[in-house]
Amino acid sequence: MTIATPSFATLLTEAVQKTRSVTCVGLDPRKANLPEPMRQAIAQDRPEEWAAAYTQFCCGIIDVVAGKVPCVKPQAAFFEQLGPAGMISLGEVVRYARSKQLLVILDGKRNDIGSTATAYADAYLGADSPWQSDSLTVSPYLGQDSIEPFVDVCDQRSAGIFVLVKTSNPGGGLLQNRETDGQSVFQRVAELLTELNKPRLDSHGYGPLGAVVGATYPEELAQMRQAMPHSVILIPGFGAQGGAADDVKVGFHAGGLGAVVNSSRHIIFAYQRPEYAEKFAGNAWQRAVEAATDDMNQQLNFCE
Ligand SMILES: O=C(O)c1cc(=O)[nH]c(=O)n1[C@@H]1O[C@H](COP(=O)(O)O)[C@@H](O)[C@H]1O
């Protein structure tokens, strides 16, 4: 097997070391939460105008956080809400983030039967991908033959995936915690990721198959850190969903390696948080993004 170097996992580790940050800024634009001046500039309530505002907003965030954090995670759903115009905006945001040396985790939670999974993998991660994302969130529900096409693409290009293992939402346990053959479904997913990563490790011991484990389940996060020594863990649920620094620190290896922690609303709409609202009203929303990013970096001060 020939594996593209440097791998996505290596690039992410290097970006963490360079920025001394484990923060992933989630780009989840919402019409109702855009700063007032941007909402006022919408002349007609048309998807094209909102999409242009989303591009402006997300690129404005990227300008603030580039150099401060290793990666950003655009959530496709919010762009898809605007239809084709939203997808053009998503493409522009991905391109702009990469031009600012930020790694992009495209949050699409994609997957399907193997032959269609190949199309998703080529679409988002392939060498000729029009999106050129560095990585993609992937659902494991269709099994190993649905994950392998993504791994094949990761072998060819410096790309990675983050597979849903234990999600942050309260209802995730209904299926993920289901016990079968003496282990839970999420433990079985973790085992599969470890098997697939083993022949593909970089010099830090990480493979292309990352995992998603929510900050809202610290006990399971600690267990999953042990079960998946070769996966970089994407930890969402910090901030707005209640996850705190003490909850996520168990997801890391020494020196702040092996995980990144996502926060979306608490950073991008920080200007609306009570502690920032007065100081950063109106046009000062980018300064609120900066303050919230600096604060999160300080709280997650795990890099040696
Ligand atoms: O894959 C994800 O990123 C994800 C998985 C998960 O278990 N929980 C979760 O919240 N997410 C995403 O992480 C982001 C969390 O946003 P905030 O709650 O605003 O920080 C959203 O884009 C979610 O779609």
Q: Which atom of ligand 1 is nearest to the CA of 239?
A: 20
Supply the pLDDT for residue 194: 98
> 12: which residues sit within 8 A by CB, 6+ positions away?
70, 71, 103, 160, 232, 260
Whether 282 has a pLDDT exceeding 80, the answer reads no
Supply the pLDDT for residue 29: 98
Sequence spans of domains, the chain: 8-298
Supply the pLDDT for residue 275: 94
Supply the pLDDT for residue 298: 98
Across the range 147-152, mean pLDDT stands at 98
User: CA 3 to CA 207: how far, in whole Å?
Assistant: 10
Mean pLDDT (the chain) is 97
Cis amide bond preceding 6, omega within 30:
yes
What confidence tens digit (pLDDT) does each residue in 203-234 have? 999 999 999 999 999 999 999 999 999 999 99
Q: Which atom of ligand 1 is nearest to the CA of 213?
A: 7
> 81: which residues sit within 8 A by CB, 6+ positions away?
none
Whether 4 has a pLDDT exceeding 90, the answer reads no
Whether 283 has a pLDDT exceeding 90, the answer reads no
Whether 125 has a pLDDT exceeding 90, the answer reads yes
* CB-CB contact of 126 with 157 (8 Å): yes
Supply the pLDDT for residue 218: 98
% of the chain beyond a pLDDT of 90: 96
C-alpha of residue 1 to centroid of ligand 1, in Å: 33
Q: What lines the ligand 1 site, CB under 6 Å? A: 26, 28, 75, 107, 137, 167-168, 212, 214, 236-237, 239-241, 262-265
Across the range 177-199, mean pLDDT stands at 97
Whether 50 has a pLDDT exceeding 80, the answer reads yes
Across the range 91-96, mean pLDDT stands at 98
DSSP states along the chain: ----SS-HHHHHHHHHHHHT--EEEEE---GGGS-HHHHHT--S--HHHHHHHHHHHHHHHHHHHBTTBSEEEEBHHHHHTTTHHHHHHHHHHHHHHHHTT-EEEEEEEE--SHHHHHHHHHHHHSTT-SS--SEEEE--TT-HHHHHHHHHHHHHTT-EEEEEEE-SSGGGHHHHT-EETTEEHHHHHHHHHHHHHGGG--TTS--SEEEEE-TT-HHHHHHHHHH-TTPPEEE--BSTTSB-HHHHGGG-BGGGBSEEEEESHHHHTGGGSHHHHTTT-GGGHHHHHHHHHHHHHHHT----
Supply the pLDDT for residue 201: 97
Q: Which atom of ligand 1 is nearest to the CA of 105?
A: 3
Across the range 24-46, mean pLDDT stands at 97
14 exposed, middle or buried (CB, 10 Å; 0-12, 13-18, 19+)?
middle
Give the confidence band of 117 by pLDDT, cuts at 50, 70, 90: very high
Is domain 8-298 annotated with CATH 3.20.20.70? yes
Give the confidence band of 19 by pLDDT, cuts at 50, 70, 90: very high
Whether 281 has a pLDDT exceeding 90, the answer reads no
Give the confidence band of 165 by pLDDT, cuts at 50, 70, 90: very high
Nearest to 208 by CA among 217, 199, 216: 199
Supply the pLDDT for residue 5: 86
Supply the pLDDT for residue 223: 98
* CB-CB contact of 96 with 62 (8 Å): yes
The residue nearest atom 2 of ligand 1, judged by CA position, is 236
Tokens encoding 197: 């990563």
Active site residues: 109
Q: Which of 262, 263, 267, 289 to mutate to test the pocket of ligand 1 (most atoms within 8 A of CB)?
A: 262
Supply the pLDDT for residue 45: 97
Give the confidence band of 304 by pLDDT, cuts at 50, 70, 90: confident
Q: Which of 23, 33, 106, 107 to mutate to test the pocket of ligand 1 (most atoms within 8 A of CB)?
A: 107
What confidence tens digit (pLDDT) does each residue in 239-251 have? 999 999 999 999 9
C-alpha of residue 285 to centroid of ligand 1, in Å: 22
